[in-house]
Structure 1
Amino acid sequence: MAPISELDTLPDGQLLYIDAEGTLQKVGVHASCKDKKIVIFGVPGAFTPTCSLKHVPGFLERGPELKQLGVAHIFCIAVNDPFVVKEWAKTYEANRGTIQFLADGSAIYTKALGLEFDLTDKGLGMRSRRYALFVDNLVVKKANIEEGGKFEVSTADEILKAVMSCF
């Protein structure tokens, strides 16, 4: 399947998280994103070096600017189970509702986006490519998708530029 690209409609799907009471919750992508501007960024996995030290911190830093531009949600999707994602999210004490961390444990939604990345040879199984999407009312306005293990176009700074160019 070809990767999602600009002007594509965001596929619907279910992502998971564990709430403050420890209850598993489902997030319907279309229900959460219809009639809203959102940013979704995907990472190969929780606790991985680039994701943890660069990708997430960039969105925490730039999140307030994105929200001022009308972005309703910033979703971080990791191909991990929701319990791992919850523990990873806890490591970002500065996150006061800026980013919602979501689990795609079996990479089902990642595959629907066409952004799966097979790391079986490294013992990691199916993962996600790094990416950042700016979506307006379910339509992808900007798709910044990394090649290989790079971290250049999916940064918070790059998606912020894309959002600013839409106004």
Structure 2
Amino acid sequence: MAPTIAVGDTIPDGRLMYLDENDQLQSLSLHSIGSGKKMVLFAVPGAFTPGCSLKHVPGFIEKAEEIKSKGVSEILLLSVNDAYVMKAWERTYLENKHIKFLADGSAAYTRALGLELDATDAGAGVRARRFVLLVDDLKIQVANIEEGGNVTAISSADEILKAL
């Protein structure tokens, strides 16, 4: 299925959930956090999965300061999981200081982007495709969207750094 979101589009607003430092459930509006700012939004098919946990997320953690040095205000990680799973996953990365782990529990935001992945055959239901977006003042500047769920060819931290 072809994505519906593309370079030049305004990123849709959406509320994503997270647990704050006191483990209180919070919601975040992408338009509120991104208006007038540059942000990187990347997504993975699932928390605690090998490709996501061992390669994709660690690459962004390792390169976060370099990404932010290029004028990026926010680095946001999206996954179709609940906020409690995302917080538990975030806590496994002790070195993370810059990435917000955001939950799209019902995949509503992922569907609004047109970037859902049907992983029903793998027992996982609807998930987010692996992607990275560079958004500047709510306009998509770069949309690197993977074709397969296990590939990080164009959605890595290194690839978004090339675009910055």
**TM-score, length basis structure 1:** 0.95
Q: What is the rounded CA distance, in whole Å, between the counterparts of 1:119 and 1:139 in structure 2?
A: 29
Q: How does 1:27-66 map to 2 (within 5 A)?
A: 27-66=28-67
Equivalent position SS for 2:77: strand
**What's the offset of the Cα at 1:3?**
2.8
Number of aligned positions between the proteins: 162
- Partners of 1:57 and 1:148 in 2: CA distance: 19
Whether 1:105 and 2:108 are equivalent positions in the alignment is no
Partner Cα distance (1:160, 1:125) in 2: 31
Which residue type is aligned with residue 154 of structure 2?
Answer: V
2:95 corresponds to: 94
SS at match of 2:73: strand
What is the one-letter code of the residue matched to 1:130? R
Offset at residue 4 of structure 1 (A):
1.1
Letter in 2 for 1:29: L
1:7 match = 8
Counterpart for residue 83 of structure 1: 84
- 1:117 maps to what in 2? 117
Post-superposition shift, 1:148? Answer: 1.5
Q: Quick one: structure 1 residues 132 and 105, their matched pair in 2 at CA, closer, same or farther if it must change by over 3 Å?
A: same
Which runs of 5 or more residues in structure 2 are unaligned? none
Q: Distance in 2 between matches of 1:35 and 1:70?
A: 12
CA distance in 1, matches of 2:7, 2:63: 22
Residue by residue over 1:15-65, the C-alpha shift from the partner in whole angstroms, topping out at 9 and shown as x without a partner, is 000112121000001000000000000000100111101111111111101
What residue identity is the alignment partner of 2:40? V
Aligned equivalents of 1:5, 1:123: Cα separation in 2? 29
Letter in 1 for 2:54: L
What percent of counterpart residues are identical? Answer: 55
